[in-house]
Amino acid sequence: MKKKLIVTLATLLLIIGNVIPVLAAEDVTVEFTTDKNTYTAQDKIIVLGKVLRGTEPGKGTSPTLMLKNPSGKLVEAFQWEDSAITSSGQIGKIITLGKDLVDGTYVITLSALNAKQVSKEIHITGYGSTPTPTPQKELKMSTNKVEYKTGEAVDIAGSVTAGGNPQSGLDIIITAEKNGTKIGTDGSAKTGNDGNFHYSYTIPSNTTAGKVTIKASLADRSITVSKDINVSVESTPPPPPPSTDPTPTPPPTTNPTPTPDPTPVPIPKPVQPPVQPDVNKVTSESTVITGNAEKGTTIAITDKNLLTLTGKTDANGHFSIPLGKKIKAGTKLYVTSIKEEMLSKETIVVVVEAEDRTPPVAPEVKDLKDNDKIIKGKTEAGAKLTIKVGNHIIATGTADQNGMFSIQIKEQKAGTVLTVIATDRAGNVSKNTMVVVEDATPPSIPTISSVTSTKIIGKAEAGTTVYVKVGKTIIGVATVNSKGNYSVSFKQQKAGTNLSVYAKDKAGNIGKSKMVIVPKK
């Protein structure tokens, strides 16, 4: 965003130096030099220059320095205030090369009001032509076989790479589904230094026969892979058949010996579900979820939509589970403890908005012309935009959910400086973005007060250039002075020759032509 601010400021400086009419006599001179001709990435360019109005320091001339890349696009610009110009007209500036540049030939220019612009080429290396793209992660997963029985363990193995390089320390979430419904408890694994991970998943004993899908996902759910397995139900051995021994059972005696009671079998105490977890505050800026529960339990966190995270408590019952990405304020999280396949009560946590103390970046603003009625750009989503000319607010608006804004304004004169400011919902205010209204209006048709076979005299917009043509050939050119007067001289033309007279301003806009005929002597 800093670069965009510099570019918009540079546009302002460019137009100030080229659009404002000549205000004083053409006696201003500028010159500069750099400490060397070739620079490397993120180097510093030392610029020393001089601006003079006659023999006096060139105060009031707004000397402007600009750096343009090989494509002619502004990279940086700077304008000196009068207080920065020494009594001998000396000026200086250090330009620090940023990161987002390319190798090539750059141009530095120095201009001032009523002065002829001077420029110099420099060469910058060490950036390369295009940035190296970030390789995409690749997740692979397999099982040790396809056919399983209920209660059997599935040995899951896989790997994560990016550009062929192993990715270590990544959390992998393991889930199992049957007919689109999760079965069992989610598991988690972490990739080692070789990028590989392993996990043993036990198929619940109450699973019905059929296809089960095993899934492995990165913690942020950006990549998920799956593998189908077939599950059959473990059968129970049938009871033994009745005895076929023909020996008759002897009749009971009249005084049977009492059979002692069998040793009583102790009834196991029911397993108590784990204690409901205690979860600390979660904000929209949180990167981990922390809290306390019974030691040795598994903690499962879900939003009952896309998010599923798991982790374990340590010896002190504390847990800290990293988030793959920040969670939007207002999201409900459901946190449970799991122990011996028993679940605790859910703890519901609502993600709250973090206290925002970070100002939004300065708005990016598209080029604005003097016939535009809408100003467009981009800033922080939901931020309020304020458009000012000087201290006067001319328009306000709000950025949409993507940060884009489009605000109606009245047409502004070329050279007008607009200030665009963004204010976020927390009241933080961005830095100013300065935008200069570009000249898109062609100059008016020149007036003609005198025509001869060698000269045309008249009036036109101050600072423009007047051209005289015969057919498609330009035969004369002159600059209109600060009072709007011009005088174009050319080689003698025959009487009756049609001359076309038109004006072109410094922004490149060309006005309509006026036709005139060379009179007889």
Q: Is the pLDDT of residue 298 over 70?
A: yes
Q: What gap in Å lies between CA 58 and CA 384, rounded to an integer?
A: 41
120 band by pLDDT with thresholds 50, 70 and 90: very high
Task: Quote the mean pLDDT of the chain.
Answer: 84
pLDDT, average across residues 402-423:
93
Question: Could you tell me which residues are beta bridge partners of residue 408?
Answer: 374
SS3 425: coil
- φ, ψ of residue 85 to 5 degrees: the values are -95, 125
Stretch among 17-31, 130-144, 400-414 having the lowest mean pLDDT: 17-31
- Return the C-alpha torsion angle 171, 177, 181, 184, nearest 10: -70
244 band by pLDDT with thresholds 50, 70 and 90: low
Structure token digits, residue 483 = 């009072």
Q: What gap in Å lies between CA 44 and CA 35, rounded to an integer?
A: 10
- Return the C-alpha torsion angle 503, 509, 512, 515, nearest 10: 30
**Tell me: the pLDDT tens digits for 472-497?**
999 999 999 999 999 999 999 999 99
pLDDT, average across residues 96-122:
88
Q: At residue 257, what is the residue type?
A: T
pLDDT, average across residues 428-456:
92
Question: Could you tell me which residues are beta bridge partners of residue 477?
Answer: 467
pLDDT at 114: 86
Q: What gap in Å lies between CA 136 and CA 138, rounded to an integer?
A: 7
pLDDT, average across residues 407-420:
93
**Tell me: the pLDDT tens digits for 34-56?**
888 899 887 888 888 899 988 88
Q: What is the CATH number of domain 2-125?
A: 2.60.40.1930
Q: Quick check: pTM over 0.95?
A: no
Q: What is the CATH number of domain 447-517?
A: 2.60.40.10
CATH superfamily, domain at 364-436 = Outer membrane usher protein (2.60.40.3110)
Q: Is the pLDDT of residue 419 over 60?
A: yes
Q: What is the CA radius of gyration of the chain?
A: 40
pLDDT at 11: 47
By percentage, how much of the chain surpasses pLDDT 90?
41
Q: What gap in Å lies between CA 424 and CA 272, rounded to an integer?
A: 50
Residue 256 is classified by DSSP as: P
The CATH architecture one would assign to domain 278-350 is Sandwich (2.60)
* Positions of CATH 2.60.40.1930 in the chain: 2-125, 137-224
pLDDT, average across residues 206-232:
89
By percentage, how much of the chain surpasses pLDDT 70?
86
Q: Is the pLDDT of residue 132 over 90?
A: no
* Positions of CATH 2.60.40.10 in the chain: 278-350, 447-517
pLDDT, average across residues 215-227:
88
pLDDT, average across residues 367-391:
93
Question: Could you tell me which residues are beta bridge partners of residue 434?
Answer: 419
Tell me the HSE value of 488 on the side-chain side, using a 13 A CA sphere. Answer: 29
SS3 83: helix
Q: What is the CATH number of domain 137-224?
A: 2.60.40.1930
pLDDT, average across residues 506-521:
90
pLDDT, average across residues 106-125:
91
Return the top range by mean pLDDT from 66-75, 161-170, 316-325, 370-379. 370-379
Q: What gap in Å lies between CA 293 and CA 280, rounded to an integer?
A: 11
**Tell me: the pLDDT tens digits for 229-241?**
998 886 655 555 5
SS3 519: coil
Q: Is the pLDDT of residue 17 over 50?
A: no
Question: Could you tell me which residues are beta bridge partners of residue 138?
Answer: 161
256 band by pLDDT with thresholds 50, 70 and 90: low
Please count the other Cβ atoms lying within 10 Å of the Cβ belonging to residue 306: 9
- φ, ψ of residue 140 to 5 degrees: the values are -125, 150
